[in-house]
Amino acid sequence: MSVQGKTAVITGSTSGIGLGIAWELARGGVKVVLNSFSDSDEDHAIARQITDETGTEARYVQADMSKPDQCRALIGEAGACDILINNAGIQHVAPIDEFPTEKWDAIIAIMLSSAFHTTAAALPVMRKAGWGRVINIASAHGLTASPYKSAYVAAKHGIVGMTKVVALETAREPITANAICPGYVLTPLVEGQIPDTMEKYGMGREEVIEKVMLERQPSKEFATTGQLGGTALFLCSDAAAQITGTTISVDGGWTAL
């Protein structure tokens, strides 16, 4: 079955990984529904740009992923949801005993609870259509841990676990559920951190990338948003019809250590 003409709802997709995935899916003929909480002119302009450059329909729907009702409403407003990609995320770094409660609550809400609500709303739609793909963007931190990232690591481990549950509940149906686990990805946000990191450590660009930013990534190369989009597109293909309930690491060997 071709993915052309299918509709993908991608949370947190007006920048970074989510946007990269949207572009790759659109190039593959998948209609995309972009999402963020901001509802700016720029958000709608990104959707128009994808449509103009790929010839595939793209549109923007505002929804705050920290709000359960808005998570579920997003699926309804999309009109169709053959492919659900739970990508929205935020980060905060602090020791557990200093970690602000409101930051913990926000990270768990946006990165874990939102995926529960969108998936709960999307599965009946997929069942009615007779086909579906749930793809959760987890992280290398869904399989391992780092200090000072308690909420992020907890959320990403949680999303991996929930992926397995969804896969088991849909195992006898033409629906799959998988998690992609990126390592460090070269996004505009990460690119913007490089000059400050260079200044902090007194290193050149390549040295700070290899020795500081990619310390735990054996390839010493960033993954790209296009690579993650290509992985998502593969998981939507017929070749991946029996891949379900698992994780695919795109981390340059990080979790092989």
Distance of CA 232 to the CA centre of its chain: 10
184 is catalytic: no
pLDDT in tens, 86-106: 999 999 999 999 999 999 999
pLDDT in tens, 155-165: 999 999 999 99
Q: What is the pLDDT of residue 235?
A: 98
Average pLDDT over residues 169-174: 98
Which residue in the list 60, 152, 184, 201 is annotated as catalytic?
152
Share of the chain above pLDDT 90, in %: 98
Res. 1: pLDDT tops 90: no
Q: What is the pLDDT of residue 2?
A: 85
CA distances from 50 to 91, 96, 125, 137 (A): 27, 41, 25, 21
pLDDT in tens, 121-163: 999 999 999 999 999 999 999 999 999 999 999 999 999 999 9
What letters, b where the CB count within 10 A reaches 16 and e where it falls short, cover 62-99? bbbbbbbebbbbbbeebebbbbbbbbbbbebeeeeeeb
Work out whether the CA dihedral 207, 210, 214, 216 comes out positive or negative.
negative
